[in-house]
Amino acid sequence: MISYPDIDPEIIRIGPLAVRWYGVMYLIGFASSYLLVKYQIKKTNRMPEDRKQETEVKVSLPISYVDSLYSYLILGLLIGARLGYVVFYNLPYYLQHPFDVFAVWHGGMSFHGGAIGSIIAGIMFCRKYKIDFWHTADLIIVTAPIGLGLGRLGNFINGELFGRVTDVPWAMVFPSGGHLSRHPSQLYEFFLEGILLFSLLWFLKDRGFRHGVLSSLFIIMYGAFRFFVEFFREPDAQTGFLFGVFTMGQALSFVMVVAGFLIFYKRKGIKSVTGGKCAG
């Protein structure tokens, strides 16, 4: 067994205000994504026109629009993540206590809800500015694992979302997980959904895929990785196991994988759109 490092979740506190590692992780994730999207656009804009046509990577998202795009995405993610948690993980409670939906300081955010919120916000942005949705999604999605991985590190520092009881040599006893040793499932997710997923997508991004294929690969791979890790992660107390076997996270991830394959088979045969009306 390995000792849990027990890092203080608060970096600094000034009176009632505190800067926490979890929030800083997400800020770094958003900033990294923002800078890497701008890097991709600048890199493509420097390519010769014949090379752009050959690889079908002509950018339809002007770099001047990136700031506005991230305003949409961050708002959509936050609203979607909160509503996703309410609907997917604790709906009976919030039906009885509707005003607690706004009590975000009590915790409760869902990745799957955040993904839905971001997609809706992205579609709204693309339709408003008449930008190709799928190419924009591909630019964003290859950077998303950075924030996902860092978010799992934040969960680990908070000692939350820990794994199931186990006796593996690298098990840990988490402060809020009782006296039993558990899987550090947050670190499994950090590696699979963060490091590995980012490495794969960043490697594939310049391989000349049709617009939308990278997005579908993200959906498929994230769903598969999350489905696998859920076998080691302690299910939420209020939902437990579905049908006595699977967790809510696995059910939602299975839907993601199916949706990802549907998008893949639809988009792989469609010629890339390099501009004009959003294909949302």
pLDDT digits (tens, 9 = 90+) for 205-234: 988 889 999 999 999 999 999 999 999 999
Inter-CA distances, 221 with 166, 197, 260, 264, Å: 26, 7, 9, 12
Residue reference for tokens 């939906």: 101
Cα angle value 60/256/91 (rounded, 5°): 115
Quote the CA–CA distance of 263 and 217 in Å, as a whole number: 9
Considering only CA atoms, which of 8, 30, 29 is closest in space to residue 19?
Answer: 8
Whether residue 17 has pLDDT greater than 70: yes
Query: What pLDDT score was predicted for residue 270?
Result: 58
Identify how many contiguous H helices and E strands the chain contains and give both numbers.
11, 2
8 A C-beta contact, residue 116 and residue 76: no
Quote the CA–CA distance of 133 and 263 in Å, as a whole number: 13
Confidence band (pLDDT; 50, 70, 90) for 199?
very high
User: How buried is residue 88: exposed, middle or buried, by Cβ count under 10 Å (0-12/13-18/19+)?
Assistant: middle
* The two structure tokens encoding residue 168: 């593996």
* The two structure tokens encoding residue 178: 């009782």
Confidence band (pLDDT; 50, 70, 90) for 244?
confident
Whether residue 79 has pLDDT greater than 70: yes
Instruction: Write the DSSP string, 33-97.
Output: HHHHHHHHHHHHHTS-HHHHHHHT----S-GGGHHHHHHHHHHHHHHHHHHHHHHHH-HHHHHHS
Q: Is the dihedral of CA 189, 143, 23, 77 positive or negative?
A: negative
Quote the CA–CA distance of 185 and 166 in Å, as a whole number: 11
Report which DSSP code applies to 235. Answer: P
8 A C-beta contact, residue 29 and residue 148: yes
Whether residue 274 has pLDDT greater than 50: no
Considering only CA atoms, which of 64, 91, 163, 151 is closest in space to residue 115?
Answer: 151
Considering only CA atoms, which of 146, 236, 151 is closest in space to residue 186?
Answer: 151
Query: What pLDDT score was predicted for residue 257?
Result: 97
pLDDT digits (tens, 9 = 90+) for 111-161: 999 999 999 999 999 999 999 999 999 999 999 999 999 999 999 999 999
Quote the CA–CA distance of 193 and 157 in Å, as a whole number: 17
Q: Is the dihedral of CA 148, 183, 217, 77 positive or negative?
A: negative
Average pLDDT, the chain: 89
pLDDT digits (tens, 9 = 90+) for 27-57: 999 999 999 999 999 988 776 555 555 555 5
